[in-house]
Amino acid sequence: MKVTWDSPLTMLGGKKAGTVVAETGYETIGDLLGHYPRTYVDKGRLSELVDLVEGDLISLVGEVVSSEVRTYTDRRTNRTAYRTLLQVKGEGGVLAMTFFAKSRGVATFHENLFTPGAIGMFSGRLKWFNGRWDLNNPNYRMYGAEGEATEALARMPDLIPVYPVIGKIDSWSLEELIGLALDLVDDIPDPVPAFIRAERDLLTADQAYRWIHRPDDHRQLGAARKRLKYDEAFVTQMVLARRRAEHRAEPATARPPINDGLAARFDARLPFTLTAGQERIGDEIADELAGVHPMHRLLQGEVGSGKTLVALRAMLQVVDAGGQAALLAPTEVLAQQHLRSIRAMLGDLGDGGRLGAAEGATAVTLLTGSMGTAARRQAMLDAASGEAGIVIGTHALLEEKVQFYDLGLVVVDEQHRFGVEQRAALTSKAGNPPHLLVMTATPIPRTVAMTVFGDLDTSTLAELPAGRGEVQTNVVPVLSQPAWLDRAWARVREEAARGRQAYVVCARIGDEPPQPDGPELHAVEDLAPALATGALTGLRVEKLHGRMTPEDKDRVMQAFSAGEVDVLVSTTVIEVGVDVPNATVMVVLDAERFGVSQLHQLRGRIGRGGHAGLCLLVTTTHPDSAAMERLRAVAGTRDGFELSRIDLEQRREGNVLGVEQSGRRSSLQLLSVLTDEDVIVAAREAATEYLAGDPDLSGTPGLQAAVRTIEDSERAAFLEKG
Q: What is the CATH number of the domain that holds 149?
A: 2.40.50.140
Q: Are 216 and 207 in contact (CB under 8 A)?
A: no
Q: Are 408 and 255 in contact (CB under 8 A)?
A: yes
Domain interval for residue 487: 471-642
* pLDDT attached to residue 447: 78
Q: Are 24 and 166 in contact (CB under 8 A)?
A: yes
Write out residues in the chain with pLDDT < 50, as ranges. Answer: 652-666, 718-722
In a domain, 649, yes or no: no
Picking from 104, 138, 156, the residue at the C-terminal end of a domain is 156
* pLDDT attached to residue 722: 36
* pLDDT attached to residue 242: 93
Whether 407 and 369 map to the same domain: the answer is yes
In a domain, 628, yes or no: yes
Single out the residue of 233, 241, 237, 242 nearest to residue 669, CA to CA: 233
Q: C-alpha angle 160/189/223, rounded to 5°?
A: 40
Whether 427 and 520 map to the same domain: the answer is no
Whether 361 and 500 map to the same domain: the answer is no
In a domain, 9, yes or no: no
SS3 409: strand
Question: Is residue 158 exposed (0-12), middle (13-18) or buried (19+ Cβ within 10 Å)?
Answer: middle
Q: What are phi and psi of 42, to 5 degrees?
A: -70, 125
Whether 270 and 356 map to the same domain: the answer is yes
Whether 489 and 415 map to the same domain: the answer is no
SS3 353: coil
* pLDDT attached to residue 586: 96
* pLDDT attached to residue 152: 61
d(CA 44, CA 121): 9
d(CA 595, CA 646): 10
In a domain, 255, yes or no: no
Whether 117 and 66 map to the same domain: the answer is yes
d(CA 351, CA 366): 13
Whether 282 and 144 map to the same domain: the answer is no
Q: What are phi and psi of 466, to 5 degrees?
A: -60, 150
d(CA 609, CA 466): 10
Report the amino acid identity of residue 367. Answer: L
* pLDDT attached to residue 720: 44
289, β-bridge pairs: none
In a domain, 402, yes or no: yes
**Cα 131 off chain centre by:** 40
Picking from 587, 615, 642, the residue at the C-terminal end of a domain is 642
Q: What pTM did the predictor assign? A: 0.72
Whether 450 and 503 map to the same domain: the answer is no
* pLDDT attached to residue 513: 66
- The CB density around residue 189, as the number of other CB atoms within 10 Å, is 17
Whether 423 and 486 map to the same domain: the answer is no
> What is the DSSP code (8-state) at residue 595?
-
Whether 400 and 511 map to the same domain: the answer is no
Whether 423 and 330 map to the same domain: the answer is yes
Q: Are 296 and 423 in contact (CB under 8 A)?
A: no
Report the amino acid identity of residue 696. Answer: D
Picking from 122, 156, 190, the residue at the C-terminal end of a domain is 156
Burial 476-494 (b: 16+ CB within 10 A, else e): bbbeeeeeebeebbebbbe
Q: Are 81 and 73 in contact (CB under 8 A)?
A: yes
Query: Helix crossing, 171-184 with 205-213: angle to 10°?
Result: 150
In a domain, 207, yes or no: no
Helices (H), 61-145: 104-113
> Domain of 452: which CATH number?
3.40.50.300
Helices (H), 417-546: 420-427, 446-452, 483-497, 524-532
Count of domains for the chain:
3
Whether 267 and 393 map to the same domain: the answer is yes
In a domain, 514, yes or no: yes
